[in-house]
Structure 1
Amino acid sequence: MLDSYHLQVLERSMNAATLRHRTITNNLANIDTPQFKSQQVIFEGYLQEELNGKIGTGKLAAYRTNERHIPFSNAGGFAMPQVVSNPNSYVQNSGNDVDLESETTELAKNQIWYSGLTQLTAGHFQKLRSVIEGGGK
């Protein structure tokens, strides 16, 4: 059975997949916008570093984008997804770098990933429910 740490990892992964979905759909919505630069979400590498115990090296330190924001810490060490410019994109004559085929492929992969995460999470809560109800007596 999953413990609270693993549930938090699943939650963070689902949040990253949701952010990735929004980022990809934003890229697709701007496919004909001149000078639009596509973005991507970086998360899995950070998560792998966390799972390998490399948290606390300073690479994943929490930061505030504005000093008026509520301070927080990475005491839990959970990887945060990052939205960055797409470095491997081909710029068209209009200055736009959105590639329809690449974006739709990434969207499909992300939907499959999110579906798997929701199934894992639902399975955990179903097992928990079974235990609470007495194991199916």
Structure 2
Amino acid sequence: MKLFSDTITNLEQGLNYSSIKNKTIAQNLSNADTPNYKAKDVQFKNHLNQAQHNIEAKRTHSKHIPFGSEGQNYQITARNDVTYNHNGNSVDLDKEMTELAENQIYYQALVERINGKFNSLKEVLRGGN
């Protein structure tokens, strides 16, 4: 028996992604003046699209359509195709600050949602009082 639903697991994975994204943005910002530093991005959508092609699950009949799931990971890639500064650096401060603000909103929404889930569980454990 599972103690928590898949929703909490998915929210946890979202928080992990947001944390990695925040660290990557902070690293980019701290290296904004480093010559030849290539800004990093956290790739999730590309990885998700690739994983959807490798889905496999238990089939109870040979005519059932095959599908399944794989673990989801995040990939950190460097932005090698752009240069914003004369020293070969690819950090765009405006872009990084925009992504940081977006990520903070995303993280806060996940935290509020997971708090709601835990509050619901507390209500159930208290007997609905």
Q: TM-score, normalised by structure 1?
A: 0.73
Deviation string, structure 1 residues 31-68 (Cα, Å, up to 9, x no partner): 00001000010124545776xxx26349xxxxxxxxxx
Moved more, 82-91 or 11-20: 82-91
Does the 8 Å CA contact 1:12/1:80 hold for their aligned counterparts?
A: no
Larger Cα Rg: Structure 1 or Structure 2?
2
What is the DSSP-based 3-state SS (H/G/I as helix, E as strand, rest coil) of the residue aligned with 1:94? Answer: coil
For the residues of structure 2 that align with 1:105 and 1:88, how far apart are their CA atoms?
Answer: 20
- Change in Cα spacing, 1:115 to 1:20, as seen in structure 2 (3 Å) is same
Q: Which residue of 2 aligns with 1:43?
A: 44
Does the 8 Å CA contact 2:80/2:90 hold for their aligned counterparts?
A: no
Q: 2:82 aligns with which of 81, 89, 93?
A: 89
Q: Which residue of 2 aligns with 1:77?
A: 70
Q: Which residue of 2 aligns with 1:115?
A: 108
What is the letter of the counterpart of residue 72 of structure 2? Answer: A
For the residues of structure 2 that align with 1:49 and 1:6, how far apart are their CA atoms?
Answer: 22
For the residues of structure 2 that align with 1:55 and 1:6, how far apart are their CA atoms?
Answer: 23
Residue ranges of structure 2 left out of the alignment (5+ in a row): 57-67
- Identity rate, percent: 33
State the shift of 1:77 in Å.
Answer: 2.4
Between the two proteins, the alignment pairs up a number of residues equal to: 115
User: Aligned Cα RMSD in Å?
Assistant: 2.4
Q: 2:54 aligns with which of 53, 56, 67?
A: 56
What is the letter of the counterpart of residue 17 of structure 1? Answer: S
State the shift of 1:90 in Å.
Answer: 3.1
Does the 8 Å CA contact 1:37/1:98 hold for their aligned counterparts?
A: yes
Q: Displaced runs of 4+ in structure 1, greater than 6 A?
A: none
